[in-house]
Structure formats: structure tokens, C-alpha cells
Amino acid sequence: MSKTMAEPDVLLVVDIQNDFCPGGSLAVPRGDEVVPVINALARRFAHVVLTQDWHPPGHLSFASSHPDRKPYETIELPYGPQILWPDHCVQGSAGAEFRTDLQIRHAELVLRKGYHREIDSYSAFRENDRTTLTGLAGYLRERGLARVFLAGLAFDFCVRFSAEDARSAGFDVVVVEDACRGIDVDGSVQATRRRLAELAIPCLNAGSIA
């Protein structure tokens, strides 16, 4: 396997799971298109981390947990505003599994997030209460990994929050935009591009990364 990226670089592959792809319960439009791009990109990295949304049944972010509420409504929870989602990535379900065409056998870590019933978790680094840490930043530091490349689903939620938190934790960050797709709730894709630009986080295509 030929790997061309520098040793301190890590590819963080976000939530390439059945429920986030066409046919899934929270499908990101054209989400399946990122898989071959990510597979090819991963071959260039010595270090790869995968994240996996991993919700218990009845998770507080599910619309079904709130009588008279519908998916994509926003409510206030103790930690702030929360978009309500269709039930998705329930622990042990087929929807929570990685897509079978995701072929990254050399991935060194699978980080599961969103498993606390009372708190949603978009970011790979920090849950939505913005105080509960996943431990990923410490793992990367102890491994000597300093630059994080992000790819996956969805661009405007889990990729965005992971990128923001990686930068906040002191890492150099690059988003590989052609290896992402967005779900676009109320203009969230454009809001993500603006936020990443404010943070000086580059959005590049896989072919331009060196």
C-alpha cells in the first residue's frame, strides 16, 4: 500500500454508515458517492480513524422520543437547541453498520459517539453539551498526530463540528470537500462554508492534497 501523506497526518472518516446513505433512515443526498473517494484517499494515509454514530434506542435527539414533535423540528434541551432527527444508527442495527464498500482495513481506531442517551454528539471530539469530551484529542496527541484531514457525512453537521473542535483543540485541519456530502437543513451547507472560512480551515478536493 502506497502512502504519501506525512507521518503526523491523520484521516478522520466521519460516519460512513448505512443510515446516512441512500436508503437509510437519515440519508444524506448522494452520500454513497463519497465512499470510493474516501477509499482512494485512505490509501495515502498511514493513520486513519473512523467515527461511528452509535445511539441507544430512545435517544433524546430522536423525534420519536418527543410526543407531538416531527423530524427536523428544533427544540431546547438542557444543553441548548437540538434538531430532532428520525431514529438512526441505533446500536446493533443494520443502519448503524459501516457501508460494506468502505474498505479501510488499516484504520487504527473506531470511535463511537452519541451513545449517551441524553446528549447528541455531532463532533468526534466533543459532545453537543460542548463540555463532554470523547478523548480523541488526547489519543491523537499521544500518537504524535498533528494535522487532521476530514471526510465523510454529513458535511454540515458531524464534519463541520469535528473540524471546529479539532481546530479548537490545537490541530491543523483540512476538510476534503469532495469526500463529503451535506444534508442541508435550513441553509446549513452555506453556513458551514462560512464558518470554516472564518476559522481559516481550507476545503480542498482530494486530488489537490499533497
Is 113 marked active-site? yes
> Considering the entire predicted model, what is its pTM?
0.95
Q: What is the pLDDT of residue 209?
A: 85
Q: How far is residue 106's CA from residue 103's CA, in Å, rounded to a whole number?
A: 9
Note the helical H segments in the chain.
34-42, 136-142, 160-168, 188-198
Domains in the chain (CATH in brackets) are: 9-55+89-208 (3.40.50.850)
Neighbouring C-beta atoms of residue 52, cutoff 10 Å = 21
φ/ψ of 41, rounded to 5, equals -65, -40
**Active-site entry in 87, 113, 120, 156:** 113
**Strands 109-113 vs 80-83: parallel, antiparallel or unpaired:** unpaired
Is 70 marked active-site? no
**Active-site entry in 21, 89, 158, 180:** 158
pLDDT band at 1 (very low <50, low <70, confident <90, very high): very low
The pLDDT tens digits for 68-80 are 999 999 999 999 9
Cell 453537521 -> residue: 157
Q: What is the pLDDT of residue 2?
A: 46
| Contact indicator for 153, 181 with CB cutoff of 8 Å | yes
Q: What is the mean pLDDT of the chain?
A: 96
Considering just the CA atoms, what is the radius of gyration of the chain in Å?
Answer: 16
**Active-site entry in 15, 19, 32, 156:** 15
